[in-house]
Amino acid sequence: MDEERLLKLADLVEDAPRENFNMAVWKYQSPACGTVCCAIGTGVEAGLFPEIVLKAMETGDCTTYQIIHDDLAEFDAVAKVLGITYEEAVYLFAVGSYTSIGFYRTIDEYVINASDITPKQVADKIRTFVYERRLKNAPDQKDRTRVLEGSTHSPVREAVT
């Protein structure tokens, strides 16, 4: 797991302007809306993932982008770049993992609910994932204590104490 880049991504996402953030799209551009990105799109745009390519797919006045790395796309590409599993990539970056209703029945339901996900929610989820993984991989109580002492991320402290 590339925890350094995951934590940098959490910082970038948390600082992303709300109006430019939407977990429904890797990246989307239109004259009416400007540019919006999800967490990974935000990282790519900031130069955090130079090995990821955003492949443009134009439709009328707007352009949507697909995530590509080597011969992989979407969550497979994200998983490989970050050194996590496909399932972990979906857990961290798929819209359905941020809502109580899970995945959606219609595209309208998907897009509306995706816009409700805040940058802070995503940043907190990424940080919690990294610190929980550190705790899980710590060989003994002394190492787990060190992980907790190094965490200023309150959800992790609350989950373990």
Render each residue's pLDDT in the chain as its tens digit; 161 residues. Answer: 999 999 999 999 999 999 999 888 899 888 877 888 999 999 999 999 999 999 998 888 889 899 999 999 999 999 999 999 999 999 999 987 887 555 555 544 545 567 788 999 999 999 999 998 888 887 766 666 666 666 655 455 454 44
Spell out a b/e string for 11-45, using b for 16 or more CB atoms within 10 Å of the CB, else e.
ebbbebeeeebbbbbbbbbeeeeeebbbbbbbbbb
pLDDT at 157: 46
109 vs 6: CA distance, rounded Å: 28
80 vs 20: CA distance, rounded Å: 26
74 vs 72: CA distance, rounded Å: 7
pTM across the whole model? 0.81
Whether residue 9 contacts residue 39, with contact meaning beta carbons closer than 8 Å, is answered with yes
